[in-house]
A and B are shown apart, each in its own frame.
Chain A
Amino acid sequence: MTHASVDQVWDWLAAVPDPEIPVISLTDLGIIRDVAWQDDTLIVTVTPTYSGCPATSIINLDIETALRGHGIEKIELKRQLSPAWTTDWLTEGGKRKLEAFGIAPPQPAGGPDHCPHCGSKSIEKISQFGSTPCKATWRCKDCLEPFDYFKCI
């Protein structure tokens, strides 16, 4: 029996949206560590973004559902903690999609560079925490809109 190639599987995973921020995919998010065949079992290694992220189990379910949809029968999901996930693994494409969606992408400086709505640099932090564990809440002092910042870890 011939398997789908590993590259093909990566392409399929690139089409699975993040359940909480559906504008980016799981591969954009950088949480898929490895895809490999072991005999007739496909092993997908996934890393959690935050240890308590409630999306983790949904993500695993979505991966399994997507791959089964492509005819893969034996799937094993492995969790890998180290090296711990970092926002450095967000792809450049993913960062652009976040910005276009109104979520400021992570910056090495530790805070957003500008308001994703109007581009103003006059912004302030409201809270280190936001609507999901991976985000903080900021506000633009020019357009007055609040926005999410994908925080840097």
Chain B
Amino acid sequence: MSTAVTSGDDALFEFLCRMGDSTLVLGHRVSEWCGHAPVLEEDIALANTALDLIGQTQLWLGLAGEVEGKGRDADKLAFLRDGWDFRSALLTEVPNGDFGRTLMRQFLFDAWHSIYLGRLLKSSDKRVADIAEKASKEVSYHLERSADTVVALGDGTEESHARMADALAYLWPYVGELFAGDAVDAAMVEAGVAPDPASLREEYDALVGRILEEATLALPEGRFAHKGGRDGRMHTEHLGHILTQMQWLQRAYPGCTW
């Protein structure tokens, strides 16, 4: 729990797990589409996005393991922690639903991701800034594509518009958590490592609002937010199911490699 954070390295470890766990869980979710997308190009795009996110996970969790200094590398952190140790944002855990919901979730995440990584470029911790520099180039492509698709489907047929509106209504309550700061965030702000999440909200609403308007969808007014993923207090019921799929091999055959 965030209240137990005592030293700077503990907070940094938490912060890095939040970054890496969100990209890991979303990367896993997106990879579930592999071989199932509506057309080949979309299948390839989803698989590439998943690959980028898993690659970024290796960087974030690799650094988390280094900072922790207990000999855990990115694989150990990804495959041998239990649900309560994960720090993924709840938005990344929700099921894919239909293609529209998957792309709406991707857009809502990409918009946050691109803004957040942009701020991390100025991190006082060079290792964090380096990863952000690498990742932000990839995320600009993710955002371009997910925004295009949200516009195409939102401003598409009656059916696709209705589905995107449903997706937005379902996902919006998971967005607020991305901007809710706690003691870990405060420690990161103090150390100059990462920005105050709340400070990104205005830019986020402007970006998301602009794209949704183009998509003939309205930015929801409600600010109710499901929380508990980033601080590990309470994940969605979906996380455990993801972990059973993602981790069973390492748990059944510890230390197994390709």
Contacts and interface: CB of A to CB of B under 8 A. Distances in A.
B75 interface: no
User: What DSSP secondary structure best describes chain B's contact surface?
Assistant: helix
Interface stretch (A11-19, A30-38, A45-53, A59-67): A45-53
B134 A129 contact: no
Contacts, number: 72
Interface residues of A, number: 21
B205 to A, nearest CB: 25
A128 B110 CA distance: 15
A82 B145 CA distance: 25
Nearest to B55: A52
A122 interface: no
A131 B51 CA distance: 12
B56 interface: yes
B131 interface: yes
Contacts of B58: 51-52
Interface stretch (B136-144, B195-203, B248-256): B136-144
A81 interface: yes
B55 A51 contact: yes
Interface stretch (B8-16, B40-48, B91-99, B170-178): B40-48
A82 B130 contact: yes
Given A51-B58, A81-B130, A83-B133, A127 B52 contact: no
Interface residues of B, number: 27
B122 to A, nearest CB: 13
B57 to A, nearest CB: 8
B44 A51 contact: no
A130 B131 CA distance: 23
A25 interface: no
A86 B55 CA distance: 17
Contacts of B141: 128-129, 151, 153
A108 interface: no
Contacts of B52: 50-52, 133
Interface string B29-62: 0000000000001101100111111111011000
Contacts of B56: 51-52
Nearest to B60: A51
**Majority SS at the chain A contact face:** loop
A27 interface: no
A129 B49 contact: yes
Contact of B59 (A81, A85, A127, A130): A81
Nearest to A136: B141
B215 interface: no
Contact of B45 (A52, A128, A151): A128
Contacts of B42: 127
Contacts of A81: 59, 130-131, 133-134
Contacts of A143: none
Contacts of B44: 127, 129-131, 137
B135 interface: yes
A48 B49 CA distance: 16
Contacts of B144: 128
Contact of A128 (B130, B131, B134, B145): B145
Interface of A: 48, 50-54, 81-85, 126-131, 133, 137, 151, 153
22 contacts: A48-B55, A51-B56, A51-B138, A52-B52, A52-B53, A52-B58, A81-B134, A82-B133, A82-B134, A83-B133, A84-B133, A85-B134, A128-B144, A128-B145, A129-B44, A129-B49, A129-B141, A130-B44, A133-B52, A133-B138, A137-B41, A137-B44
Given A82-B134, A85-B134, A127-B42, 6 more contacts: A53-B51, A81-B59, A83-B133, A129-B45, A129-B49, A130-B44
Interface pairs A-B: 5 shortest CB-CB: A52-B55, A51-B55, A52-B51, A82-B130, A129-B45
